[in-house]
Every structure is written in C-alpha cells, then in structure tokens.
Structure 1
Amino acid sequence: MRIAVVGASGRIGREVADVLTKQGHEVLGVSRATGVDVYTAEGLAEALAGADVVIDSVNATTTETAAVTDFFRSVARNVQHAAAAAGVRRIALVSIIGIDQFTAGHYAGKLAQEHAYREGPVPVRILRAAQFHEFTEMMLDWTTRGDTAYVPKYRAQLVAARAVAEKLAEVAIEDSGAAMIEIAGPHELELAAAVAKLAARQGKPAHVEEIVDVDDPNHELQARGALLPGPEAVLAGPTFEEWLDHKYPAQQ
C-alpha cells in the first residue's frame, strides 16, 4: 500500500513512517523537507498522487489560538482537497484526547482540524492520543527557571509516541474501523510528578514545583482531568516508569 505521511519529519510522523516501512508499505514523506507546504498547498497535489491512504501527523509551531486554528483548519482543507483529487481511499489523523471542551491554544486548533477533516469528501479516521511520555522532556525544557521547573497542575495518562504510531498505522491501513479511537498509557498520573522523576534521572533541575497557571485559559480543564481517556480507550504500554528506565537508566 502507498501511504503518504503528512508531517513525516515530526515526532509521530517519523515513528509511523518507520512502522509502515517495516511492514512493507511504500511511504511517501510529505513535509517541507520534501518540498511540500501543506499550509499553502504548494506541492501537495504532486505529493499525494498515487497514494492509497494519507496520514496527517503535522504539528504547528505556534500555540496562539487564532494562528494555530487557522493553520490546522487550512491544512485539513488542503489535504482533503488534494486527497479527493488523487483518489485517496481515506485519511487517518492523530489528534488529542478530550479536546472538545477547549476553546484556546493548541487544543482548539486540533479541534478545528478534526471538524475541517469531517467536512471533506474523503473518509477520515481520528486517533485521539494522550500526551506522550516525551511530553515530560518538553515540559522540563519549557518551564525550568534556574534550579526549578514550574510545572502546571495537569492530570495525564501519558503514552509512548511509538505506541501511538503503531496504532495510527493500524487505523490507517484497516479497511474498516471506528471513526474515532482513543489511546492512552496504562496509568493516570500528575504531570509534575512525572517531570520530577525525569529531572531526578537527568540530575537537573534540583526542584520541580507544581503550580496553577491562572494566565493559561486551559488550566482548569487540565487540572481536573479533561484530557484523560474515556472508558473505551485503548491502553498501551510501556508505562512511564518503563519508558524512563529504558531512556534514562538509573545510575548504579
């Protein structure tokens, strides 16, 4: 099967391309590195020519609500248009669990992306994922000031990016399946506690402090667990602790 991966150079794009290649599929990488701008649609029609399925794993470089919503909505409409013209069978999109209540930032953009895809002619399947284990690394980088990381209160059920990629590949190639599926890790945790474990393995920063960021319009939803999976979600390992042991082995 010929599968075009939009955002092939990103975290999930790289992983899903690797999964599909090892399964024997022909992967068409679609990214700026391959001369395609999915926001403007430059090169997109040519990139999707001959594809059976499209996977959208593209990410945005901004979290400003208007800009990120415009970006994701435009990408979805462009991909739908080009996919329909190319005779693509279906589109698989990776999104985020629990975003229906969010009206600001990245989550609002992803929700707009989902809606735009559903409005198009090519059938779309959506895999809503929890935040990745790797999100703790990003959070540590974003929030560290001096010897302390100030991590917002956030209930999560972190999942490995590789597990998401494997499920996304499955969703994309199956001839039948649910229109929306959720995937999360095996256990709920507090994000600050997970970041603290990562900091301890890295040896810095010295402290991790959980905070309530009242300037973030999403802080209440994140704190009360809006981004946790529902009862029908697929739960996939490894656990956060297993991922941590593999990537950051404890010093003896």
Structure 2
Amino acid sequence: MKLTVVGGTGLIGSQVVRILTGAGHEAVPAAPSTGVDLLTGEGLDQAVKGADTVVNLANSPTFDEASLDFFRTSMTNLLAAGERAGVRHQVVLSIVGVDQVPQLDYYRAKTLQEELLRQGPTPYSIVRATQFFEFMDATMSWTSDENTVRLPATRIQPIAAADVAAAVAEVATGAPLGGIREIAGPEVFPLDELGRITLAAGHDERPVVTDPTAGLFAVVEGDVLIAGPDAHLAPTRYRDWLAAKSR
C-alpha cells in the first residue's frame, strides 16, 4: 500500500512513516522540507500521486485565530488533490474533546478541519488523541517562572507520542472508519498533579501552585478532555515514560 504522510517529518509523522515502512508499505513523507506547501498547493499533486491513503498530520504554526485559516485552506487543498489523484482514504489526527472547547481558537480550527473532512469527497477516518506526554514541559513553561509553576486542576488523560503514531498507522492501513476513533493513555491526572510528578522526576524542587486561571487549559471545564468509554487505551504509563526518558 502507498500512503502519503502529510507532516511526515514531525513528532508523530516521522514515527508513522517508520512504522508503515517497517510493515512493508510505501510511506512518502510530505512537508515543506520535501517541497510541499499545503497553503499554496505547491508540490501537493505530486506528493499524493498514486497514494491509496493520505494521512494528514500537518499542524498550524500558531495556536491563535490564524489557525482557522491554516486548517481551512490546507484541508481544502488536500481533499482536492486527493480527489484528483483518486485517493481512497483520508485520515486526520485530531484531539479528544475538540468540539467541546470553543473558547480556544485552535480547538475551533481543528473542529473545522474535521467538518471539512466529513463533507469531503473521500472516505475518511478521524483519530482523536488526548494530550501528548511530550508536551508537558511546554505546558508548564507557559505559566512558570524560576520560583513557581502554576497549573489548573484540569483533568487530562495523556498519551505517549509513540502510542499515537502506532494508532494512526493502524487506522491508516485499515478500512475507512467513516467516523472517529478515540485514543488515550491508561491514566487520568489533574494537570497540577501531573506537573508535580514531572518536576519530581526531573529533580526540580519548584512547587506547583494550583491556579484555576493559569494557562491554555484553564478555560476547559469538566472532563471534556477525558476519552469516552469506547476509547482505545494505549499501554504506556506516564511515570514509566519519564523513567525511560531519564535513562
């Protein structure tokens, strides 16, 4: 099977390409570094030529209102190129609870991307993942200084990027879902607790102050970022991942 992996040089994409190639598929990464521009369409027809499946892992360069234009244009261009090339399956990676947090521009943009995919001409699959382990340091950096880390107690169910890549590769090589598959890590944490676990593992003695107004996830209410009962739970636990990372 030939698959074009858009965003195939990034955190998830590079791992998806490696998994697919290792399984005997032809996986072609498409990214600005390979001559593909999703916004102008440059290089896109060549990138998807002959592909059975397109896996869209491209991400907006910003998380603000400009992300709406990015996902609108990139998804529209990709669907059109796929239709011209006879692509039979379009796969997009999205976020658990994405349509439940309209206060966040980026989440509204990803919701728009999903809707464009649903309305498009090609059979599709949407993989919604929870927050990645790998983003925890960045999440803390938004609301920390040299003395204190401030985080809300928002409940999340984080997942390792490697587990996300494996799930995306599995969906991409299967029949189109015509819907959503949720994937999540095996454990639920309040974000402030996850911060304390992370700092302790890195021998960082700064305290974590629970602050319901701190950071991107402060606007999230309830358990909307927690996967539903039918979600596929990944095997990797956060503390085990931290331990392996430090070795």
Please classify the TM superposition score into its range, dividing by the shorter chain length: over 0.9
- CA–CA distance in 1 between the matches of 2:13 and 2:231? 22
Matches of 1:154 and 1:10, distance apart in 2: 27
TM-score, with length taken from structure 2: 0.93
Tell me how far apart the structure 1 counterparts of residues 149 and 43 of structure 2 sit (CA, whole Å).
42
Return closer, same or farther for 1:84/1:201 CA change in 2, 3 Å cut-off: same
Shift of 1:176: 5.0
Give the conservation status (yes or no) of the 8 Å contact 1:143–1:149. yes
* 1:57 lines up with 2:57 in the alignment: yes
Equivalence map 1:47-126=2 (5 Å): 47-65=47-65, 67-103=66-102, 104-126=104-126
Contiguous gaps of at least 5 residues in structure 1: none
Which amino acid in the other structure matches residue 199 of structure 1?
Answer: L
Report how far residue 219 of structure 1 moved.
2.9
Mean Cα deviation higher: 11-20 or 132-141:
132-141
Aligned residue pairs: how many?
246
The share of aligned pairs that are identical, in percent, is 37
Q: Distance in 1 between matches of 2:137 and 2:90?
A: 30
TM-score by length of 1: 0.92
Q: Partners in 2 of 1:134 and 1:192 — Cα distance? A: 16
Q: Residue 47 of structure 2: SS of its match in structure 1? A: helix
Task: Calculate the aligned-residue CA RMSD, in Å.
Answer: 1.7
Shift of 1:151: 2.0
* Distance change in 2, residues 1:50/1:125 (3 Å): same
CA positional deviation for 1:152? 3.0
Note the 1:165-244 alignment, pairs <5 A. Answer: 165-175=165-175, 177=177, 179-204=179-204, 206-213=206-213, 219-220=218-219, 222-244=220-242
Aligned to 1:8: 8
Q: Is the 8 A contact 1:149 1:205 kept in 2?
A: no
Alignment of 1:150 onto 2:150: yes
In 1, distance between residues paired with 2:208 and 2:88? 47
Q: What runs of 5+ residues in structure 2 fail to find an aligned partner? A: none
Query: Structure 1 residues 226 and 212, CA, compared in 2 at 3 Å: closer, same or farther?
Result: same
Is the CA contact (8 Å cut-off) linking 1:147 and 1:204 kept in structure 2? no
Deviation per CA, 1:46-78: give whole Å up to 9, x if none: 11111111001111121113x111111211111
Distance 2:55 2:130 in 1: 18
Letter in 2 for 1:2: K
Structure 1 residues 224-243: Cα deviation after superposition (integer angstroms, max 9, x where no partner): 22111111111111111111
State the shift of 1:183 in Å.
0.4
3-state SS in 2 of match to 1:8: coil
Displacement of 1:178: 5.3
Equivalent position amino acid for 1:227 in 2? L
